[in-house]
Each structure stands twice: as structure tokens, then as C-alpha cells.
Chain A
Amino acid sequence: AQSVTQLDSHVSVSEGTPVLLRCNYSSSYSPSLFWYVQHPNKGLQLLLKYTSAATLVKGINGFEAEFKKSETSFHLTKPSAHMSDAAEYFCVVSEGYQLIWGAGTKLIIKP
């Protein structure tokens, strides 16, 4: 069975410093992996997706993620945090239409 573990429930960084949100997955197939972002009182938005092409995936708003099969990881990074990045981030693994979600990481940006 597929599963997703987000290693941190909260991450706090200062504005302008790098962001790292960690995600590990288990999957018996070559997985499709995604990061979604949820801003307060807003719908979920797809940040980026990995579907077995390049292992380094670039998304919106300067975010990127690297698929590492040997480590079963798909960590999300951004070189420089902005106040508008404050939100909840979800790592997701899928097989077809089924999305399996991590519990989420709340990103807090300090001024």
C-alpha cells in the first residue's frame, strides 16, 4: 500500500532564508508525486508534480522538489522564503485517480 510521511508538522523560517519541507513515501509502483499548497480559507493548489520525467521538478512561486528513489524522498525547497509562502503544504502520492495525502506541514514565515 502506498503511504506518505511528512516529517515535520511545522516549519518556521525567517523571510529571505531557504525553505525545506521533507516528505518520504512508500509505493510499490513507480510513483507519481505531488506537492499541494493550501492557504488559509482557500482551496488546494498544485505546486508541482513528478511523473517519472526529470527528477528535479520546478513548480510555481519558485518552489522545486527532487525525487530520490534510493531515499524514497520528495523534499520541497525554495531558496528564499517570502511572507506570502505562509501556508499548509501537502505531499501526495498517486496511482491513477487515487491521491494519498500526507498530514501536512505548516510553514511559518517570520519577518
Chain B
Amino acid sequence: GAGVSQTPSNKVTEKGKYVELRCDPISGHTALYWYRQSLGQGPEFLIYFQGTGAADDSGLPNDRFFAVRPEGSVSTLKIQRTERGDSAVYLCASSPHVGLRTFNEQFFGPGTRLTVL
């Protein structure tokens, strides 16, 4: 079956511009996660959705970053007034469901490589 997909695969933008990154999770997965991976680092948690609501957005670095998941499936990560430091690979993952003390495998998409010039 189809895995997690992310579009675009690459995005080059200029400093100060607005960008949107899209994630299509696996069908039926209620949990969705966004991560950011800088060169030479492991992924860094940004935000977690359970259904339509953001259950934890503590990883968003500042108010330029925002994410939505209006119908509980596709999610969009939005970055305003981009800065060169935002350049990274943005990863999306989904999982069937999750409890506070249980782990559910997260299935990752291929990522979107964002370059801010």
C-alpha cells in the first residue's frame, strides 16, 4: 500500500518568503508528526497531531512556524518570513494511534528538502 508522501521533494526559496510543505499520511493513521532534520543531526520533533488537533506543538521553534491538519488526514507545515537557518529536511511521519505510555511505530515520508537562500 501507499506510504507517507511529502510534497514537494525539494523547495528553494528566498529569505523572507512564505512556504508550505505538505504531508499525506498513510490512510487510516490518526497520529501525524512533523520533524526537522539538519545536516549531520537526528530528526528534531516539531509537532504532533492526534486527529485534527495539535496535541503537542512544543517543538515549533517560534511563531513563524505553524501546522494544520483540518480534516484529520493531510497536514501542511507553514513557515512565514523564512530565514537561512530554516534550511533543513522536513520529515513527516504517521502512526495508527498512540497512547501516552505505548509506542506505535512511526512511518516516515521521504522528506522535503528546504533551502532558503
Measuring CB to CB, which residues of chain A are less than 8 angstroms from any residue of chain B? 4, 9, 32, 36, 41-46, 49, 51, 90, 92, 94-99, 101-104
Contacts and interface: CB of A to CB of B under 8 A. Distances in A.
B42 A98 contact: no
A43 B4 contact: yes
For the complex of A and B, the 8 pairs showing the least CB-CB separation, nearest first, are A101-B42, A44-B108, A43-B108, A43-B110, A97-B98, A32-B103, A96-B100, A90-B42
A43 to B, nearest CB: 4
Interface of B: 3-4, 31, 33, 40-45, 48, 55-56, 91, 93, 95, 98-106, 108-111
Given A90-B42, A103-B40, A43 B111 contact: yes
Contact of B43 (A32, A44, A49, A96): A44
8 contacts: A4-B42, A43-B91, A96-B103, A97-B33, A97-B55, A99-B43, A103-B40, A103-B41
